[in-house]
Each structure stands twice: as C-alpha cells, then as structure tokens.
C-alpha cells in the first residue's frame, strides 16, 4: 500500500513541516500554536509547543541547513524560531501587512523567505547582520487579490505566486547584498519586484503551485478542477491546461520532471504524468479505493456525508464517522490541504512525501514498489 503510516495528531491541521532529518514534525492544530512531535520508540511524543502567535498559524517552513522554523499567522506577523540548547527562541519579523499572512516558504539557499498575504502583497524577508534583524521587503500593487501560495525557483531569485484573482505570476526577488549577480545566470538583469511573467489561465481562484526539480516546469491548480503546467517561463511561456473529472486540488508536488502529485478535496492524492513528448495527463489515484462504478460512488458518497453530519452533531469523533471512513478505506477522510516532500539532503529524487488536511491526520506516502510508476520516478 502506498500509505506508509497514518497518524491522527489533531482535529484539524492547517499546515505542517519536517525537521531536516525527518525525525520531528511541526504542525498547527488549527489554533495559535505550533506543536512539535518527535518519534520516540515508535510513538509520537509532543516535545515542544511554540506559543507566540495570537491567531491561527497559516504557514510553517523548516529550513534544512540552518535548522530554523519560520511561521506566519492570521495575526499578520511572522516569527523565525531558532533552537538554542533545548528551547526554541522566537524572533519577530515585522511584515508590515494589514491583512492575514497566508503562506510562507524558505528560499532554496535559506537566506530569504517569502510570505503571501491577504493584503494582495508578497513579503520577501532577509536577515540584516548589522542590525540583528529580519527585514521585510514588499512586492505591492501586483496582485488583485489574496496571495494563496508562493514557490521558489531553484535559482533562489525567481518567486512564483498564485492568487485568488486566478492568476499565476513570477517575480524577481533580487536583493542587493543578499544575492550575488553571477549566481543568477539568465535572470541577472532583473530588479527586485520585477514581474517576469503573468499567466491568466484560470477563471477562478488559483491555489497550490510548485516548480519541477530543475525549475523548467511550473504547475499550479485552479478551483475549477483544472491543473496548469507551464514550460519556458519567461516572456513567451507555453502552457497546458488539464481538466480532470474529480473535485479541485489544493496543493501539488513534483516527484520528478515527469510526475506530479496533486492533493485536494477528493481526499486522495492524484498522480499526473507527462508522456515522452511532455504532454501531461491524469494517471490514477494513489490511494487504493474508488474502484466502485461511478454511480455507486456518488450514491455512497452522498449517504456517507449525511452519516458524517449526523455523527458530528452528536460528537466530533463518534462511531458513525469512524465506521464510514473505514468503509471508504482511504487514508484521509477530509480535504487534504498540504503536501510536503520528504527528500533528504543529497538525494537526487524523493519518492516519499507527507500530506495533512482538515481531518487532522498526517499521512506518509511512498511511491516505491508501485510498478506502473517506476518509469516516471
């Protein structure tokens, strides 16, 4: 089975991130705290609670080399947490936002991080040694609505964003004194905040987005059950729109240049693959279910949803809900909102990843021993 382990951590999880060696996981249980769990003797134990935010934590990212955690919250602030002996010490980053922060991501070199917000702006934050201070530089007046997701290109300069105005944009985030000109290659002429590209493919909200490992392909999803693949990012991009028959996706992850996993409202990761000439298509669901015929599926889904409502009106985790989830047999029982790669430092490609969602579970998946996927890994 593709799901290696399933663990129920909370009622609901807004976001999660792994420590560099994957022995610890940090997540927000849908409140103002971040919980850090460690696997001790085959059991997950809560070892730290990071309390500093006032409202729901909407984004967490854990840097691999510097071992720092960055968190953003609806309270419009961000903290960078560093481990000092046994405690996690927060440093406030003033983002200068007037709306909630929604997502955060460390840059590949970990000298900057990007924050998307409901204030139609993106913050690029970097550390100023002389002041011992994280500075936030804003990209303003480029988005017409909330920024739902940010993704760094491997070159550490390009940043892609998706927004609820339906557009996907790519910006240059070159900061003098932080980035060096020669490291940037083709992007060396661009200034901070310069828009490299804007794509207007989705007619509804755009959500999760990622670059392929090489940075040649960009993928993002729309709330209209579509996924968009963009090649040749620059002045003349080429794009593919792939419509699929199931509920919309929320987040995506490239496994290789030819395989992508999408997660979302269908509670089951979807596998997309590219053929020899680079045409993307939906292959199958990853989890083992949904084998019933279409009509039977909708019937059972409907009655199951009803069952859930009745169950929940009595008590959140009554037997009804547990039983219906068992009959459905999937690892996740509710919308999956995030997917995180479990790639180790130095690995060429990652075949395992974790997902979390509104059902409060974190599921670890592995793609090895799936014969039909081998050629795409």
Partner 1 sequence: MAEFVEADNAEAIITRIEHKSRKIESLLKQYKPVEALKTALEGAPPKTKDERCKSAYWIVVHRALMAIRDVDSLFLSLDPEYYDVLMKYLYKGLSTGDRPTCDQCLKIHEKLTERAGLGCILRTLADTVNTV
Q: Contact residues for partner 1 (CB under 8 A)?
A: 203-204, 222-226, 243-248, 294-295, 298
Given the complex with partner 1, which of 298 and 310 has the nearer CB atom?
298
Q: In the complex, what is the shortest distance from the CB of residue 312 to partner 1, in angstroms, rounded to a whole number?
A: 22
* Inter-CA distances, 215 with 231, 319, 351, Å: 9, 46, 18
User: How far apart (Å, rounded) are the C-alpha atoms in residues 162 and 144?
Assistant: 11
Q: In what order do the strands lie in the sheet with 168-172?
A: 147-152, 158-163, 168-172, 195-199
Q: In the complex, what is the shortest distance from the CB of residue 255 to partner 1, in angstroms, rounded to a whole number?
A: 22
On whether the CB atoms of residues 125 and 137 are closer than 8 A, the answer is yes
Given the complex with partner 1, which of 11 and 305 has the nearer CB atom?
305
Q: In the complex, what is the shortest distance from the CB of residue 251 to partner 1, in angstroms, rounded to a whole number?
A: 17
SS3 label, residue 18: strand
Q: In the complex, what is the shortest distance from the CB of residue 263 to partner 1, in angstroms, rounded to a whole number?
A: 15
User: How far apart (Å, rounded) are the C-alpha atoms in residues 329 and 322?
Assistant: 10
Q: In the complex, what is the shortest distance from the CB of residue 53 to partner 1, in angstroms, rounded to a whole number?
A: 32
Instruction: Let me know if 87 is exposed, middle or buried by CB neighbors in 10 A (0-12, 13-18, 19+).
Output: exposed
Given the complex with partner 1, which of 234 and 299 has the nearer CB atom?
299
β-bridge mates for residue 340, sequence order = 354
Given the complex with partner 1, which of 39 and 247 has the nearer CB atom?
247
Residue 346 φ then ψ, to 5°? 95, -15
Of the candidates 311, 356, 364, the one whose C-alpha atom is nearest the C-alpha of residue 338 is 356
Given the complex with partner 1, which of 92 and 243 has the nearer CB atom?
243
Given the complex with partner 1, which of 266 and 287 has the nearer CB atom?
266
Q: In the complex, what is the shortest distance from the CB of residue 271 to partner 1, in angstroms, rounded to a whole number?
A: 16
Measured N-to-C along each axis, helices 294-314 and 319-328 cross at an angle, to the nearest 10 degrees, of 160
Q: In the complex, what is the shortest distance from the CB of residue 266 to partner 1, in angstroms, rounded to a whole number?
A: 9
- Strands 57-62 and 3-8, bridge-based pairing: unpaired
Planar angle of CA 347, 350, 352, nearest 5 degrees: 135
Given the complex with partner 1, which of 249 and 350 has the nearer CB atom?
249
Q: In the complex, what is the shortest distance from the CB of residue 2 to partner 1, in angstroms, rounded to a whole number?
A: 22
Given the complex with partner 1, which of 79 and 205 has the nearer CB atom?
205
On whether the CB atoms of residues 260 and 219 are closer than 8 A, the answer is yes
């Amino acid at each position: 089975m593709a799901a290696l382990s399933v663990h129920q951590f909370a009622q609901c999880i807004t976001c999660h991130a792994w420590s560099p060696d994957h022995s610890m996981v940090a997540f927000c249980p849908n409140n103002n705290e971040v919980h850090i769990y460690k696997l001790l003797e085959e059991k997950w134990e809560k070892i730290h609670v990071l309390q500093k935010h006032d409202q729901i934590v909407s984004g967490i990212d854990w840097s691999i080399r510097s071992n720092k955690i960055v968190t953003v919250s609806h309270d419009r602030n961000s903290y960078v947490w560093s481990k000092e002996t046994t405690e996690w010490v927060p440093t406030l980053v003033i983002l200068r936002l007037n709306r909630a922060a929604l997502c955060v991501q460390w840059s590949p070199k970990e000298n900057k991080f990007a924050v998307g917000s409901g204030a139609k702006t993106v913050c690029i934050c970097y550390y100023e040694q002389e002041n011992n201070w994280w500075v936030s530089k804003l990209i303003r007046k480029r988005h017409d609505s909330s920024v739902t997701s940010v993704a760094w290109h491997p070159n550490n300069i390009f940043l892609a964003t998706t927004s609820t105005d339906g557009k996907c944009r790519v910006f240059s985030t070159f900061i003098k004194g932080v980035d060096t000109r020669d490291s940037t290659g083709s992007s060396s002429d661009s200034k901070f905040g310069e828009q490299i590209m804007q794509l207007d493919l989705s007619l509804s909200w755009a959500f999760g987005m990622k670059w392929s490992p090489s940075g040649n392909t960009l993928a993002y999803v729309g709330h209209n059950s579509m996924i968009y693949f963009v090649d040749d990012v620059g002045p003349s991009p080429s794009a593919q729109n792939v419509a699929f028959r199931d509920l919309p996706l929320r987040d995506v992850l490239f496994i290789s240049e030819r395989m992508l996993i999408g997660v979302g409202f269908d509670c089951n990761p979807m596998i997309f693959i590219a053929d020899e000439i680079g045409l993307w298509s939906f292959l199958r669901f990853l989890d083992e279910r949904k084998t019933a015929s279409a009509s039977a599926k909708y019937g059972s889904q409907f009655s199951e949803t009803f069952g859930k409502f009745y169950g929940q009106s009595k008590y959140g985790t009554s037997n009804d809900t547990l039983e219906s989830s068992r009959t459905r047999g999937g690892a996740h029982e509710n919308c999956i909102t995030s997917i995180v790669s479990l790639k180790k430092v130095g690995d060429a490609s990652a075949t395992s990843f974790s997902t979390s969602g509104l059902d409060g579970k974190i599921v670890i998946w592995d793609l090895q021993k799936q014969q039909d996927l081998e050629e795409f890994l």
